[in-house]
């Protein structure tokens, strides 16, 4: 701002600023050696006709000045007030240095009308003088470019801190936009657009996120930033290397399927060769989960801290922070749960369902039944009778499609160790709590030696179950991002069919029944 002022305005501004800074520092403005006003050195000729001041005058009797601490302090303050903070050198030396500094070097090209530079005996401009301050003003194109580079770098660094370390996306957006206003031509190969896309996406502003994504795709289609958004795997050489990818896939499978000892040894060896790569966040997180299940909380926290430090933008970073918080409060949480007392409701309480479907709890009272009216009594159809009349599309083996009955949503896990089945349950319990779905019960059920189920119950009918099914299926890549998509699937099922499935294990036949009702959905 100062550099952009006209020369006369700039000089006036800097001189005024120098005077203020010197005043704030307790330096008195004195008459310069040339006799003009300014921030020069003092002349001892000032006030020579005045009566000399007796520094040692005191109203106290019988006590020498230098033995009186209050008088010494008063004298020091008065001297500083009159003369400022002065170097401990003779005045003639100061005057000589000032005179030499103000001698115009016409032969050398110095402007004789320019203000004389204020320099100390070291040859450097005096602190808070006009010349000292002007040294920091970028008045040349080279200095201005250097200044702008520093400012631009600082703004991008600050925006990245707000975005990645503090997750303050609003402040990150504000900083990015200041950068765009000041440096619209310095877009750093699309990095600014990528940052704005990410921050707007995180706060749920899809319109602005799409706007900056379009700018990135059109103006920087081949940039690293565009590839990071559209094709992140292209930036991961290890992921594209089939040998390395196969090695880490095997390590991942060992972890998920319960071969922990072998997985840990192989991971350590692979990391020593390939370092941090595409697989690191995922494998670090599932290794930490294993340590949690083994009550090795310190080892788990170390792994999770490493993940947060190395991959702050990874979706697993937030989960790692949550898990660390839980681990540090583990004893407190377990003590609270163990102290809970669960009391069964009194048996005499009855639940009466009235016509408007509101539920009330009342004490049971004796009621004298009235004589029944004589009406025609129709026989009640059994489930077998009803099943016979179901169309073929609603029957598959022993399974029957009954959409009006209570349903469950099931997440089927294939070759996933019990350790990670429990973590899936915990993840979705946290998801339900954060979304106000506390009434949904999440539990795990074994299906066979290789497959486990996580059940979400209960829903009034199939349509309600479908709504929740779609919700948690969309959330799965975020909620269980450490679990590969090939390891899980979702479907809905009522209680009666679920019991049949647990006994006959004929999942294919039940899936056929579902696909008859919802083609291609399951």
Domain boundaries, the chain: 7-106+115-134, 143-235, 242-335, 391-517
Looking at residue 93, its pLDDT comes to 63
DSSP 375: -
Helix (H, G, I), strand (E, B) or coil at 222: coil
Looking at residue 91, its pLDDT comes to 66
Looking at residue 290, its pLDDT comes to 93
Give 244-277 pLDDT, tens digit per residue: 888 889 999 999 999 999 999 999 998 888 888 7
Tell me the pLDDT band of 519, cut-offs 50, 70 and 90.
confident
Looking at residue 381, its pLDDT comes to 43
Give 482-509 pLDDT, tens digit per residue: 899 899 999 999 999 999 999 999 999 9
User: What is the rounded distance in angstroms from the CA atom of residue 304 to the CA atom of residue 300?
Assistant: 6
* More confident call, 153 vs 116: 153
Tell me the pLDDT band of 311, cut-offs 50, 70 and 90.
confident
User: What is the rounded distance in angstroms from the CA atom of residue 134 to the CA atom of residue 128?
Assistant: 10
Evaluate whether the domain defined by 391-517 bears CATH number 3.30.70.1070: yes
Helix (H, G, I), strand (E, B) or coil at 362: strand
CATH architecture of 242-335: Alpha Horseshoe (1.25)
- Which range, 15-24, 77-86, 98-107, 510-519, is most confident? 510-519
User: What is the rounded distance in angstroms from the CA atom of residue 250 to the CA atom of residue 463?
Assistant: 39
User: What is the rounded distance in angstroms from the CA atom of residue 498 to the CA atom of residue 408?
Assistant: 8
Is pLDDT at 350 greater than 80 in this prediction?
no
Looking at residue 190, its pLDDT comes to 82
Tell me the pLDDT band of 135, cut-offs 50, 70 and 90.
confident
Instruction: Answer whether 409's CB lies under 8 Å from 465's CB.
Output: yes
DSSP 43: P
Provide mean pLDDT across the span 198-206: 87
- Mean pLDDT (the chain, rounded): 77
Instruction: Answer whether 14's CB lies under 8 Å from 137's CB.
Output: yes
Residue 445: CA atoms inside 13 Å, Cβ hemisphere, count? Answer: 21
Is pLDDT at 368 greater than 70 in this prediction?
no
- The domains spanning 143-235 and 242-335 adopt the same CATH topology: yes
User: What is the rounded distance in angstroms from the CA atom of residue 5 to the CA atom of residue 485?
Assistant: 61
Looking at residue 225, its pLDDT comes to 80
Give 109-118 pLDDT, tens digit per residue: 444 444 545 5
Core vs surface per residue 225-263: b (16+ CB within 10 A) or e: bbbbbeeeeeeeebbeeeebbebbeebbebbbbeebeeb
Looking at residue 80, its pLDDT comes to 75
Residue among 198, 189, 278 nearest 239 (CA): 278
Looking at residue 259, its pLDDT comes to 93
Looking at residue 343, its pLDDT comes to 53
Q: Percent of the chain scored above 70 by pLDDT?
A: 72
Burial class (CB in 10 A: 0-12, 13-18, 19+), 202: middle
Helix (H, G, I), strand (E, B) or coil at 81: helix
Q: Percent of the chain scored above 90 by pLDDT?
A: 28
Q: How many CB atoms lie within 10 A of CB 302?
A: 13
User: What is the rounded distance in angstroms from the CA atom of residue 356 to the CA atom of residue 358?
Assistant: 6
Is pLDDT at 243 greater than 90 in this prediction?
no
Looking at residue 459, its pLDDT comes to 92
Give 427-440 pLDDT, tens digit per residue: 999 899 988 888 99
Q: φ, ψ for residue 455 (rounded to 5)?
A: -100, 140
Looking at residue 123, its pLDDT comes to 53
Instruction: Answer whether 441's CB lies under 8 Å from 514's CB.
Output: no
Tell me the pLDDT band of 126, cut-offs 50, 70 and 90.
low
* More confident call, 191 vs 379: 191
Is pLDDT at 104 greater than 60 in this prediction?
no
Is pLDDT at 28 greater than 80 in this prediction?
no
* More confident call, 372 vs 154: 154
Looking at residue 422, its pLDDT comes to 92
Q: What ranges in 358-506 are assigned the alpha helix state H?
A: 383-388, 418-434, 462-479, 495-504
Looking at residue 198, its pLDDT comes to 87
User: What is the rounded distance in angstroms from the CA atom of residue 228 to the CA atom of residue 220?
Assistant: 12
Is pLDDT at 162 greater than 70 in this prediction?
yes
Is pLDDT at 36 greater than 50 in this prediction?
no
Looking at residue 105, its pLDDT comes to 43
Looking at residue 340, its pLDDT comes to 59
Range of weakest confidence among 122-126, 362-366, 477-481: 362-366
* More confident call, 185 vs 153: 153
* More confident call, 285 vs 350: 285
Question: What is 143-235's CATH number, 2.40.50.140, 1.25.40.10, 3.30.1340.10, 3.30.1490.100?
Answer: 1.25.40.10
Looking at residue 94, its pLDDT comes to 61
User: What is the rounded distance in angstroms from the CA atom of residue 17 to the CA atom of residue 11?
Assistant: 10
Looking at residue 11, its pLDDT comes to 87
Is pLDDT at 335 greater than 80 in this prediction?
no
Burial class (CB in 10 A: 0-12, 13-18, 19+), 280: buried
Looking at residue 520, its pLDDT comes to 80
């Amino acid at each position: 701002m100062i550099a952009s002022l006209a020369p006369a305005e700039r000089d006036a501004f800097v001189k005024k600023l120098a005077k203020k800074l010197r005043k704030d520092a307790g330096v008195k403005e004195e008459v310069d050696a040339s006799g003009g006003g300014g921030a020069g050195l003092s002349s001892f000729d000032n006030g020579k006709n005045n009566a000399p001041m007796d520094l040692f005058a005191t109203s106290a009797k019988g006590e020498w000045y230098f033995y009186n601490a209050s008088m010494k302090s008063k004298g020091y303050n008065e001297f500083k007030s009159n003369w400022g903070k002065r170097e401990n050198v003779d005045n003639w030396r100061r005057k000589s240095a000032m005179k030499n500094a103000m001698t115009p070097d016409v032969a050398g090209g110095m402007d004789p009308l320019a203000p004389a530079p204020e320099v100390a005996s070291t040859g450097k401009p005096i602190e808070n003088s006009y010349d000292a301050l002007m040294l920091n003003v970028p008045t040349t194109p080279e200095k201005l470019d250097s200044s702008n580079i520093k400012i631009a770098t600082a703004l991008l660094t600050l925006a990245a801190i707000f975005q990645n370390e503090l997750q303050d996306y609003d402040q990150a957006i504000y900083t990015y936009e200041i950068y765009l206003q000041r440096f619209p031509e310095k877009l750093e190969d699309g990095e600014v657009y990528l940052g704005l896309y990410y921050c707007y996406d995180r706060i749920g502003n899809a319109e602005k996120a799409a706007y900056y994504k379009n700018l990135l795709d059109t103006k920087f289609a081949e940039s690293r930033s565009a590839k990071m958004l559209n094709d992140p795997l292209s930036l991961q050489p290890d992921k594209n290397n089939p040998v390395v990818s196969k090695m880490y896939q095997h390590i991942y499978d060992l972890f998920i399927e319960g071969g922990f000892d072998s997985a840990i040894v192989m991971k350590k060896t692979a990391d020593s060769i390939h370092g941090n790569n595409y697989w690191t966040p995922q494998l670090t997180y599932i290794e930490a989960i294993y340590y949690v299940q083994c009550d090795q909380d310190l080892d788990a926290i170390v792994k999770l801290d490493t993940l947060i430090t190395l991959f702050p933008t990874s979706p697993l970073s937030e989960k790692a922070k949550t898990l660390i918080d839980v681990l540090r409060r583990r004893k407190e949480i377990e003590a609270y749960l163990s102290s809970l007392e669960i009391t069964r409701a009194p048996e005499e309480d009855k639940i009466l369902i009235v016509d408007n479907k509101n539920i009330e709890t009342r004490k049971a009272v004796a009621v004298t039944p009235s004589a029944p009216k004589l009406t025609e009594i129709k026989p009640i159809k059994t489930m077998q009778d009803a099943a016979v009349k179901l169309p073929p599309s609603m029957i598959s083996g022993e399974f029957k499609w009954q959409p009006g009955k209570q349903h469950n949503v099931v997440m089927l896990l294939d070759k996933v160790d019990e350790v990670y089945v429990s973590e899936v349950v915990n993840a979705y319990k946290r998801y339900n709590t954060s979304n106000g779905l506390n009434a949904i019960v999440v539990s795990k059920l074994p299906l066979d030696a290789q497959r486990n189920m996580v059940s979400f119950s209960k829903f009034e009918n199939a349509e309600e179950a479908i709504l929740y099914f779609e919700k948690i299926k969309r959330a799965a890549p975020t909620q269980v991002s450490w679990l590969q998509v090939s390891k899980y699937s979702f479907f809905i099922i009522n209680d009666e069919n679920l019991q049949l499935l647990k006994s006959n294990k004929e999942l294919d036949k039940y899936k056929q029944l579902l696909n008859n009702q919802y083609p291609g959905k399951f």
